[in-house]
């Protein structure tokens, strides 16, 4: 978890400001999440494991392969097509791949006040929810200068017209 703890540190300010994670926890966020999950009951762990026809070992294998790909590409000289591929894969893995099978189940299983529950709620709420939906439905594009992504998603239901525009930098 130490490698993930270090990766999260680049987002410490946003974790504190937007997710409301206490500063001292941000230094070991992945470790904290791991420890909180280890404290779940056997019944909760069983429910999480049964939430998907794809077992957790297979998901971990995919996440490891993804991390290996990112590490490999990050050692290369940046090329636009590689960076764009990384962004697509990273957004899918981070926002879509684990939503129903992990984030939703963890949010329900964890006690109120836990760091992991707070983090799951953030990942499942707007604007992250809107971003995930835009990715899943193809309602996004790179900004013309490639400094970010512009996307369109409903804040609530599909009764809004036109669909609101959002931006990630």
Q: Is the pLDDT confidence value at 155 over 80?
A: no
- What are the distances in angstroms from CA 72 to CA 12, 65, 77, 78, 142? 25, 10, 11, 11, 23
Confidence of residue 160 (pLDDT cuts 50, 70, 90): low
The verdict on 124 and 137 lying in the same domain is no
Q: In the sheet that 140-142 helps form, which strands lie side by side, from edge to edge?
A: 140-142, 149-152, 165-168
Q: What is the pTM of this model?
A: 0.83
Each residue of 26-65: pLDDT tens digit? Answer: 999 999 999 999 999 999 999 988 888 998 899 999 999 9
The verdict on 121 and 139 lying in the same domain is no
The verdict on 84 and 140 lying in the same domain is no
* Number of Cβ within a 10 Å radius of residue 96: 14
How large is the average pLDDT for residues 136-140? 91
Q: What is the mean pLDDT of the chain?
A: 90
Residue 133 CA to residue 126 CA, distance in Å, equals 10
The verdict on 23 and 95 lying in the same domain is yes
Confidence of residue 154 (pLDDT cuts 50, 70, 90): confident
Q: Is the pLDDT confidence value at 118 over 90?
A: yes
Domain span holding position 43: 2-131
CA dihedral 63, 35, 106, 66 (to 10 degrees): -10
The verdict on 142 and 76 lying in the same domain is no
Higher pLDDT, 34 or 156: 34
């Amino acid at each position: 978890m130490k490698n993930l703890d270090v990766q999260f540190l680049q987002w410490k300010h946003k974790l504190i400001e937007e997710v409301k994670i206490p500063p001292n926890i941000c230094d070991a966020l992945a470790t904290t999440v791991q420890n909180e999950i280890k404290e779940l009951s056997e019944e909760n762990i069983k429910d999480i494991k049964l939430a998907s026809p794809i077992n957790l070992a297979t998901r971990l294998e995919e996440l490891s392969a993804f991390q290996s790909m990112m590490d490999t590409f990050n050692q290369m000289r940046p090329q636009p097509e590689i960076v764009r591929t990384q962004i697509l894969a990273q957004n899918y893995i981070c926002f879509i791949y684990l939503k129903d099978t992990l984030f939703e189940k963890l949010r329900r299983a964890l006690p109120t006040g836990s760091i992991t529950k707070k983090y799951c709620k953030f990942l499942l709420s707007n604007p992250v929810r809107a971003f995930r939906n835009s990715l899943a439905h193809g309602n996004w594009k790179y900004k013309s200068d490639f400094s970010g992504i512009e996307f369109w998603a409903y804040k609530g239901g599909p009764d809004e017209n036109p669909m609101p525009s959002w931006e990630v930098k």
